Structure 1
């Protein structure tokens, strides 16, 4: 049945996220390339709009069925509410899924709900952003940024993000922008107008660029005059910042705890024709032979700054969010202290997280400065805060399609 494999893949992916706490990247989508792409798009849409979908279903099914039927209903609702899929096709495919699995006895319920949704679609939700945001994240953003800013961030999360590219040779930006029909960004990268097959684009095989959100490219630029310097990139995989630094002439050592992710980093370096030393190790156990001129620590975090790219991410933390965040901030403190030991006199440490939460950004930098006595090296430019840090949020650049949320602070070791 055309379309059935994609819907089954979407339901499996949603179950992996909501029932087992996994990311889409950890899910194997079955079928041919087109079916896998369709399954991913449906799962993405369903989780991006989960709040509205679950509200609509609750109004029609007071006692929601268990998985997998609830997930079948969610994907069907996503199609009917936000994709304008033909009602007959969306309902028929959902019913076929139910009949083929352990929820066969509820196929009639799926059919009835689908028909009612098609006949009486829900009215467009006001403030749809916050209605679709995980409750724990909405609370945190409101506390950190205030209601109005939190609403703007939530609205930005509903928009499918564009694809940004970082360039191996910045001087090629003008020519590549024309060839790729892309927009040249103030950060030095390019933004594609569509979401094409990346590996088929001009310059990919030649290693002229790599995919990297504009915000994610900013922390590496905070290392002053990197050419010729020994730079340690901690938690480096999959290697966007490593490639930036190597392209700028730095002698880079890239370290990450994951062997699989470091293998991907090595593949990326090979494709773009850049070199860097690589180390697979736990930064808390590893020690270098000599100190570095600069250390870039893009620390493990909640990754809430990337929700617009990964709508499944906050759903993994619905239970135990506070405990998970406490563990992450404790790890960030330990990594900061460890990294500081490896900065040579006169060198700098850049601390970054792809988080929207001040607990993982501003608060960590402030606490580190207080206990270490490190000298703050203020950041300047359009994304600089009054305290001299770097901060981006998803609602920035709305006319361009937004950007990821990042925090970065810079410290100098005296000497």
Structure 2
């Protein structure tokens, strides 16, 4: 590579740097800032798309980018946040995009110069070496042969090594390769539409009634579709799970959040002609309020929102119990989790996630088991208990279910296949059952993994309470 090109800093890169620095300094999530940053809004459509790709990609692969840069920095700890962020942007292009190395280095030097003029020479030297060593770095040629394949997979996916190892051990190398191939690519978008609004959303039908894929989100935002609650953006695999859990009768939804699954389940109940009475519980008042507001705008009634802790339902549901513990035909636990199935959409996850928190004895599996155990006390005889996460880790999924079934509280429950749930007896939903069955294992547990061009990683278990218990 010759001397770096002297060039004007591109608007997309300049906006990306500003946004990444702002997110780091405010400890904010980049997705929350992208659409609210004037410098991004002022870009052309093409530049805005490139800026988004840079911001999400740099955030998602932050640790690997730092590893590539630190090899050539004499004192890595002395590099300021702003200069390091500028270097990361150029390193991302050099490692993961098709940008010509000369252009990526030249623009990287200009990015660094915009933050610290005296560091431009350092940037030129470091980025030229990153460019020349990119292929060998991604191939992990510097690592012992026995570890090389795993380190290369982590570097190519932009993921922490511990996470790549965990996925390989739990799901196998084929699943790991599929996940890694799509990790730094944009996730596909899907929405769920109100009954009768499906065709107006455009796109193509998804795996369940009401789901639309290949959608033009920008056009729908401009049309006010989401503001008027005609639809919600939600992953197609999440819609599969929400659909499967819909039954006639009473339902308690724990961890309802802002209510995307609440919305989907209410729509599917209407399509199936099921009469339901729903209590949607969340720990946070502002999320419950958003859920309630959207349901009202959508005209989806018969739903009560409650604020409370799912680990203490007697307290949370006290006003509704009316002197006796209220039981439900369906209890749906949408458990807080690592989010490792949604890392493409939430790029901070891989590098902020603490491995100890998702270990078998970690905080998240402990919380998930506590929620599931407490929820079991609210299931009618013959009723169903659903457990769902957006994780790909067995410690949060299969193992939590196994620990529950081995407990005294779980002794009265048995696993049943989600694809055989009651709603799939309805002709309108028969094809959805086939989609769901494709992701079930021999025990009837449903698990998806995000792959290139595919939807997110989600898990669910359907636990039926025996009529005699």
Under a length normalisation based on structure 2, what TM-score does the superposition of the two structures give? 0.75
Instruction: Count the aligned residue pairs.
Output: 394
How far apart, in 1, do the equivalents of 2:70 and 2:217 lie? Answer: 34
Equivalent position to 2:450, from 375, 394, 400: 394
Under a length normalisation based on structure 1, what TM-score does the superposition of the two structures give? 0.84
How far apart, in 2, do the equivalents of 1:30 and 1:74 lie? Answer: 20
Q: What root-mean-square deviation, in Å, do the aligned CA atoms of Structure 1 and Structure 2 show?
A: 3.0
Instruction: Quote the offset at 1:203 in angstroms.
Output: 4.0
Return the index of the structure with the highest Cα Rg: 2
Tell me: CA distance 1:307–1:58, structure 2 relative to 1, closer, same or farther (3 Å): same
Q: Tell whether the 8 Å contact from 1:293 to 1:343 is kept in structure 2 after alignment.
A: yes
Aligned partner of 2:229 in structure 1 is 207
Aligned partner of 2:417 in structure 1 is 378
Instruction: Quote the offset at 1:152 in angstroms.
Output: 1.6
How far apart, in 2, do the equivalents of 1:156 and 1:5 lie? Answer: 25
Moved more, 189-198 or 362-371: 189-198
Moved more, 252-261 or 271-280: 271-280
Equivalent position to 2:99, from 84, 95, 106: 84
1:24 aligns with 2:30: yes
Tell me: CA distance 1:300–1:379, structure 2 relative to 1, closer, same or farther (3 Å): same
Q: Tell whether the 8 Å contact from 1:14 to 1:71 is kept in structure 2 after alignment.
A: no
Tell me: CA distance 1:309–1:84, structure 2 relative to 1, closer, same or farther (3 Å): same
Q: Deviations over 1:144-177 (max 9, x none)?
A: 11223212212121221111111222x654x24x
How far apart, in 2, do the equivalents of 1:200 and 1:108 lie? Answer: 45
Aligned partner of 2:348 in structure 1 is 312
Tell me: CA distance 1:392–1:322, structure 2 relative to 1, closer, same or farther (3 Å): closer
Equivalent position to 2:461, from 395, 409, 413: 409
How far apart, in 2, do the equivalents of 1:295 and 1:89 lie? Answer: 54
Q: Tell whether the 8 Å contact from 1:11 to 1:43 is kept in structure 2 after alignment.
A: no
Q: Tell whether the 8 Å contact from 1:15 to 1:67 is kept in structure 2 after alignment.
A: no
How far apart, in 2, do the equivalents of 1:89 and 1:98 lie? Answer: 14
How far apart, in 1, do the equivalents of 2:19 and 2:172 lie? Answer: 38
Aligned partner of 1:102 in structure 2 is none
How far apart, in 1, do the equivalents of 2:42 and 2:58 lie? Answer: 16
Residues 122-271 of structure 1 correspond to what in structure 2 (within 5 A)? 122-123=134-135, 125-126=138-139, 129-131=153-155, 132-169=158-195, 172-173=197-198, 175-176=199-200, 180=202, 182-188=203-209, 189-192=211-214, 196=218, 198-201=220-223, 203-223=225-245, 225-226=247-248, 229-247=249-267, 248-249=269-270, 250-271=276-297
Q: Tell whether the 8 Å contact from 2:266 to 2:300 is kept in structure 1 after alignment.
A: yes
1:10 aligns with 2:24: no
Tell me: CA distance 1:111–1:321, structure 2 relative to 1, closer, same or farther (3 Å): farther
Moved more, 142-151 or 126-135: 126-135
How far apart, in 2, do the equivalents of 1:136 and 1:325 lie? Answer: 17
Gaps of 5+ in 1: 100-104
1:349 aligns with 2:356: no
How far apart, in 2, do the equivalents of 1:263 and 1:129 lie? Answer: 42
Q: Deviations over 1:106-130 (max 9, x none)?
A: 3432344346657x47338458652
How far apart, in 1, do the equivalents of 2:294 and 2:40 lie? Answer: 22
How far apart, in 2, do the equivalents of 1:134 and 1:201 lie? Answer: 40
Q: Tell whether the 8 Å contact from 1:376 to 1:410 is kept in structure 2 after alignment.
A: yes
How far apart, in 2, do the equivalents of 1:155 and 1:23 lie? Answer: 24
What SS is found at the alignment partner of 2:386? Answer: strand
How far apart, in 1, do the equivalents of 2:205 and 2:342 lie? Answer: 22
Instruction: Quote the offset at 1:205 in angstroms.
Output: 4.9
Q: Tell whether the 8 Å contact from 1:219 to 1:350 is kept in structure 2 after alignment.
A: no
Instruction: Quote the offset at 1:315 in angstroms.
Output: 0.6
How far apart, in 2, do the equivalents of 1:57 and 1:194 lie? Answer: 37
